[in-house]
Amino acid sequence: MKILHIDASARTEGSYSRRLSSHFIDCLHENGLAITVDRLDLALHALRHFGALETAAITLPETEHSAEMRQAIAPSDALVARVLAADGIVIGTPIYNFGMPSTLKAFFDHVSRNGKTFLADGTGMRGLLGDTRVAVLSATGGTYGPGDVFDGLDCLTPHIRAILGFLGVTDLSFVAAQPMMFAGPDAAAMSFEAAKAEAASLAKTWSTAWN
């Protein structure tokens, strides 16, 4: 099985979301699942945001692309190929300003491509990633549950759910470690251990399904 492992935290050291996503990958290995991991670190390899050339390229047949368009859209084509080759996608991400990091949004912009990851034609629209499992492992400074300080302000989860649902993903799971900043070190430690246990359980589910 091939796993595309993405980390979106801007912090390359001391990131809880990176630790949680790595823990999930480790659990897959420990469960005896034969996996190969394709690593995408968005802090070390930030993606160009879609501009005029990319936008023009995705609206035209490839036969009509200029040399500049072909060069601009090539990174997007390469990312799409990596997504399509993956049996599972593991995303480690924080919440920044109540949503996803801009680097992760750029990733989704690159891989949301008509004719490649979804199809829009005379019969309607349908996603093409229905066979792909996705796990989103997040870490947040505060808490976003009912009655919490940031109740109703989690824009990360519904946004990712909407994008991946549009692309056809039906096996989508979220594991969140929270609060990691605003309730003190003891609360952070307890929250992180609980998230690790939840991630391990999810990894067991993946491993059982694929073994």
What is d(CA 30, CA 83) in angstroms, rounded to the nearest whole number? 24
From the list 194, 169, 146, 4, the residue with the least C-alpha distance to 82 is 4
Q: From the centroid of its chain, how far is CA 130?
A: 15
173 annotated ligand-binding residue = no
Strand partners, 38: 4
From the list 169, 188, 190, the residue with the least C-alpha distance to 179 is 188
66 annotated ligand-binding residue = no
16 annotated ligand-binding residue = yes
How far, CA to CA in Å, does 42 sit from each of 6, 39, 58, 103, 106? 7, 10, 23, 6, 10
In degrees rounded to 5, what are phi and psi of residue 52? -65, -40
9 annotated ligand-binding residue = yes
Q: Residue positions in the annotated binding site for FMN?
A: 9, 15-17
Q: Residue positions in the annotated binding site?
A: 9, 15-17
